[in-house]
């Protein structure tokens, strides 16, 4: 089954404790991206990757890191989480061919709470 | 810069009625795609329908149709014969050619009443 797998589904942590949210896709997609969802703001892009070893900042990259060592994986790293990073996070992927036509496939989301 | 506006934070509709969710967009590109996603209370993002800027006919997918008015820059989602399971948050989104992101609106929370 074609899917984007995100883990964990829920995460509660404390300020300053490094954490990683994993994301993996099995569709051989070139493009992967991370979004955060906050009430009243919709989804905002954090980082994206066009292919292995190619990553770039989105609209709200502060406090986050990513890496793309393999085509299927795109982990999101919070080196020192703060309460303002409490949010619902989504990983998404798509092919790059005909970019504006390509829909994004989303993971099931990670609800992060930073205390 | 690309921007999506959804002006209805919440809507309440009787079951079996049709409902229109509004979406307006702003772009200077000629090539772009418009998407609608549904987010039920479980949280996942479910793709509903797509409309390309060059598509001359309005997109349809089962009970979903997209009322695309290019000159007015609007891409409203129409759900016919609404069902209780349609209760969810709905997001309109746009992707420009060459842009490396899908830009989302604020969302509309739809509640279907029995």
CB B103 within 8 A of CB B3: yes
Q: Name the minimum distance, in Å, from the CA of A61 to any CA of chain B.
A: 13
Q: Which residues of B touch A50 (CB under 8 A)?
A: 100
- Rounded mean pLDDT of chain B? 95
| Spatial separation of the C-alpha atoms in residues B7 and A72, rounded to whole Å | 37
- Rounded mean pLDDT of chain A? 95
Q: What percent of chain B has pLDDT over 70?
A: 100
User: Of how many residues is chain A composed?
Assistant: 115
Q: Name the minimum distance, in Å, from the CA of A17 to any CA of chain B.
A: 25
Q: Which residues of B touch A109 (CB under 8 A)?
A: 43-45
| Spatial separation of the C-alpha atoms in residues A91 and A37, rounded to whole Å | 11
With CB atoms and an 8 Å threshold, state whether A102 touches B97: no
| Spatial separation of the C-alpha atoms in residues A90 and B39, rounded to whole Å | 12
Q: Is the pLDDT of residue B13 over 90?
A: yes
**Token pair of B56, please?**
């001359």
Q: Is the pLDDT of residue A99 over 80?
A: no
Higher pLDDT, B102 or A101: B102
Give the model's confidence band at B55: pLDDT under 50 very low, under 70 low, under 90 confident, else very high: very high
Give the model's confidence band at A102: pLDDT under 50 very low, under 70 low, under 90 confident, else very high: confident
- In tens, the pLDDT along A58-94 reads 999 999 999 999 999 999 999 999 999 999 999 999 9
Mean pLDDT of A17-39: 96
Q: What percent of chain A has pLDDT over 90?
A: 88
**Among candidates A1, A2, A22, A25, which has minimal Cα distance to A11?**
A22
Give the model's confidence band at B2: pLDDT under 50 very low, under 70 low, under 90 confident, else very high: confident
Give the per-residue pLDDT at B40.
Answer: 96
Mean pLDDT of B86-106: 92
Mean pLDDT of B46-63: 96
Residue B74: exposure state from Cβ atoms within 10 A (0-12, 13-18, ≥19): middle
In this complex, how many residue pairs, one in chain A and one in chain B, have their CB atoms less than 8 Å apart?
Answer: 68
């Amino acid at each position: 089954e074609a899917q984007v797998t995100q883990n964990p589904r829920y995460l509660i942590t404390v300020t300053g404790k490094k954490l990683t949210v994993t994301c993996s896709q099995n569709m051989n997609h070139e493009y992967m991206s991370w979004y955060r969802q906050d009430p009243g703001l919709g989804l905002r892009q954090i980082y994206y990757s066009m292919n292995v070893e190619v990553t770039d900042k989105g609209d709200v990259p502060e406090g986050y890191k990513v890496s793309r060592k393999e085509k299927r994986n795109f982990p999101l790293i919070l080196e020192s989480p703060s309460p303002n990073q409490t949010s619902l996070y989504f990983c998404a992927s798509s092919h790059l061919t005909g970019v504006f036509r390509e829909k994004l496939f989303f993971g099931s989301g990670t609800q992060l709470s930073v205390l | 810069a690309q921007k999506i506006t959804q002006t209805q934070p919440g809507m309440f509709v009787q079951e079996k009625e049709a409902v229109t969710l509004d979406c307006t967009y702003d772009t200077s590109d000629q090539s772009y795609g418009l998407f609608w996603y549904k987010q039920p209370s479980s949280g996942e993002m479910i793709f509903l329908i797509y409309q390309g800027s060059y598509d001359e006919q309005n997109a349809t997918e089962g009970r979903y149709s997209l009322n695309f008015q290019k000159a007015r820059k609007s891409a409203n989602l129409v759900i016919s014969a609404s069902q209780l399971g349609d209760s969810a948050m709905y997001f309109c989104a746009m992707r420009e050619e060459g842009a490396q992101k899908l830009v989302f609106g604020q969302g509309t929370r739809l509640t279907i009443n029995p």
